[in-house]
């Protein structure tokens, strides 16, 4: 039996319009309101995308008839206030990552959502990205034996040069800006989902590019160990010149699995082979958002539209959970509890970097 469309209010007019808005519509939601800080920009984007209500006051959106859910696509330092108001109003919530300012704040958000009895998901859309989902499934199925060594590497020159503009908040560490939260939070979630919880980290957070006034890092270099015994390295920079450098690879007792763009490969005693993507993990081709929405180098990270299809699956899972329908265990959705766990790792990374790279036990955090 067909169910009535769920109504959602989108908070944030940048990534909120670039990805959240089309993805939630693709998943069957009715976008009832757009909430932003700038009245003119918010009204213009609401009109452009056919959203019936534009607000700069979150309370007005929460009071609107037909709003069942809220999705939060704003800078990290604003998440807690928005999420706490939304769950207090009884709304189901999706919140972007990085989830909070720190793990204590994240625990407050989780506790509030649990008390309210609402569905709460973390915006980790790349759990549904085909290659990452397949990699996780293969490792869980024992395709490489017991995982022992993991390498995640990404160098992309998006923040180099004088024209590499970023939003003001992104350059400020105190506002949750920087490359650690923007990119490592995805990897941390993927590792937790694929290899187990983090036991500890040793890290550095340098600023490689010459960007006057920026206090947030454009690079992270993290050595980690999981509670399951995997040793690994996460290294990425958005502030270096040169061609992109990308590696995602996990080695185990019987083989190695790795990602090449959207393909997953396995090597073992029988040789190398590409693994076909099963139908349930396949995604349609990316749909690029309108180019005039791309104003900064940070926006351009989303210019190819690769996150729309995975985000649609996240939003569809969100809808199913709200309706009480069953959802697949693979990929498993991330809740605010995952937000707390991920934020704990981010806090440990920052603590390690601030102390010159000492080993920090994540359990102690």
Residues 259-275 have pLDDT tens digits of: 998 899 999 999 999 99
**Least confident interval from 68-77, 178-187, 298-307:** 298-307
Q: CATH number for the domain including 32?
A: 3.40.50.720
DSSP per-residue letters across 57-69: -HHHHHTSTT--E
In a domain, 297, yes or no: no
Q: How far apart are CA 239 and CA 296, in angstroms?
A: 15
In a domain, 300, yes or no: no
Does position 98 have pLDDT exceeding 70, yes or no? yes
At residue 294, the pLDDT reads 78
| Cβ 61 vs Cβ 35: under 8 Å | yes
26 with 78, same domain: the answer is: yes
Q: How far apart are CA 336 and CA 334, in angstroms?
A: 7
Q: Residue 364: which pLDDT band, with cuts at 50, 70 and 90?
A: low
| Cβ 15 vs Cβ 301: under 8 Å | no
HSE-CB of 239 using CA atoms within 13 angstroms: 19
In a domain, 290, yes or no: no
149 with 182, same domain: the answer is: yes
Does position 1 have pLDDT exceeding 50, yes or no? no
260 with 314, same domain: the answer is: no
Q: Residue 91: which pLDDT band, with cuts at 50, 70 and 90?
A: very high
191 with 80, same domain: the answer is: no
224 with 105, same domain: the answer is: no
201 with 188, same domain: the answer is: yes
- Number of structural domains (the chain) is 2
At residue 321, the pLDDT reads 98
Q: List pLDDT tens digits, range 272-310.
A: 999 999 999 999 999 989 888 877 777 777 788 899 999
Q: What is the Cα 62 distance to its own chain's centre? A: 24
> Mean pLDDT over all residues of the chain?
94
At residue 174, the pLDDT reads 85
Rg (CA), the chain: 20
Q: Residue 210: which pLDDT band, with cuts at 50, 70 and 90?
A: confident
Its domain, for residue 70, covers: 7-126+305-333
Give percent of the chain with pLDDT exceeding 70. Answer: 98
Q: Residue 353: which pLDDT band, with cuts at 50, 70 and 90?
A: very high
- E-state strands within the chain: 7-11, 30-35, 53-55, 69-72, 92-95, 120-122, 147-155, 198-204, 219-226, 231-237, 245-252, 255-260, 263-268, 271-275, 360-361
**Triad 39, 41, 44: Cα angle to 5°:** 105
In a domain, 57, yes or no: yes
Q: Residue 365: which pLDDT band, with cuts at 50, 70 and 90?
A: low
In a domain, 338, yes or no: no
Average pLDDT estimate for 184-197: 97
In a domain, 292, yes or no: no
Q: How far apart are CA 126 and CA 189, in angstroms?
A: 9
In the numeric block, which tokens belong to residue 51?
């959203």
In the numeric block, which tokens belong to residue 106?
């994240």
Q: List pLDDT tens digits, range 135-144.
A: 999 999 999 9
Query: For the chain, first and last CA: distance in Å?
Result: 47
In a domain, 1, yes or no: no
Average pLDDT estimate for 123-141: 97
What is the b/e burial string over 257-279, where b = at least 16 CB atoms within 10 angstroms of the residue's CB?
A: bbbeeeebbbeeeeeeeebebee
238 with 174, same domain: the answer is: yes
At residue 100, the pLDDT reads 96
In a domain, 289, yes or no: no
Does position 159 have pLDDT exceeding 70, yes or no? yes
* SS3 assignment, position 189: helix
Does position 2 have pLDDT exceeding 50, yes or no? no
**Least confident interval from 44-48, 86-90, 167-171, 184-188:** 167-171
Does position 207 have pLDDT exceeding 90, yes or no? yes
209 with 354, same domain: the answer is: yes
Q: CATH number for the domain including 216?
A: 3.30.360.10
At residue 201, the pLDDT reads 98
**Triad 286, 123, 336: Cα angle to 5°:** 160
Does position 19 have pLDDT exceeding 50, yes or no? yes
172 with 231, same domain: the answer is: yes
360 with 229, same domain: the answer is: yes
pTM: 0.95
Q: Residue 47: which pLDDT band, with cuts at 50, 70 and 90?
A: very high
Length of the chain: 365
12 with 49, same domain: the answer is: yes
96 with 140, same domain: the answer is: no
């Amino acid at each position: 039996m067909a169910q009535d469309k769920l109504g959602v209010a989108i908070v944030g007019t940048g990534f909120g319009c670039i990805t959240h808005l089309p993805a939630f519509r693709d998943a069957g939601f009715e976008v009832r309101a757009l909430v932003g800080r700038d009245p003119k920009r918010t009204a213009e984007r609401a009109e452009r995308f056919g959203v019936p209500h534009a607000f700069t006051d979150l309370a007005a959106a929460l009071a609107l008839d037909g709003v069942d859910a809220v999705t939060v696509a704003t800078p990290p330092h604003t998440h807690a206030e928005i999420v706490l108001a939304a769950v207090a109003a009884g709304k189901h919530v999706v919140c972007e990552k990085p989830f909070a300012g720190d793990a204590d704040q994240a625990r407050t958000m989780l506790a509030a959502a649990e008390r309210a009895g609402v569905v709460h998901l973390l915006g980790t859309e790349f759990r549904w990205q085909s290659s990452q989902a397949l990699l996780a499934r293969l490792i869980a199925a024992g395709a490489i034996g017991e995982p022992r060594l993991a390498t995640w590497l990404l160098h992309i020159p998006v923040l180099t040069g004088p024209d590499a503009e970023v939003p003001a908040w992104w350059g400020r560490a105190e506002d949750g800006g920087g490359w650690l939260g923007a990119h490592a939070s995805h990897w941390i979630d993927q590792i937790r989902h694929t290899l187990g919880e983090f036991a500890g980290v040793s890290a550095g957070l340098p600023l490689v590019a010459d960007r006057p006034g920026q206090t947030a890092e454009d690079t992270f270099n993290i050595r980690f160990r999981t509670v399951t015994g995997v040793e690994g390295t996460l290294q990425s920079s958005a502030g270096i010149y040169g061609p992109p450098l990308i590696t995602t690879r996990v080695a185990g007792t019987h083989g190695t699995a790795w990602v090449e763009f959207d393909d997953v490969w396995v090597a073992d005693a029988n040789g190398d082979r590409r693994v076909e993507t099963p139908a349930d993990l396949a995604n349609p081709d990316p749909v690029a958002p309108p180019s005039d929405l791309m104003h900064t180098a940070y926006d351009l990270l989303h210019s190819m539209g690769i996150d729309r299809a995975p985000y649609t699956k996240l939003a569809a899972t969100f809808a199913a959970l709200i309706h009480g329908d069953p959802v697949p265990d693979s990929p498993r959705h991330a809740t605010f509890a995952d937000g707390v766990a991920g934020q704990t790792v981010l806090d440990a990374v920052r603590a390690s970097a601030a102390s010159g790279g000492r080993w920090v036990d994540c359990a102690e955090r």
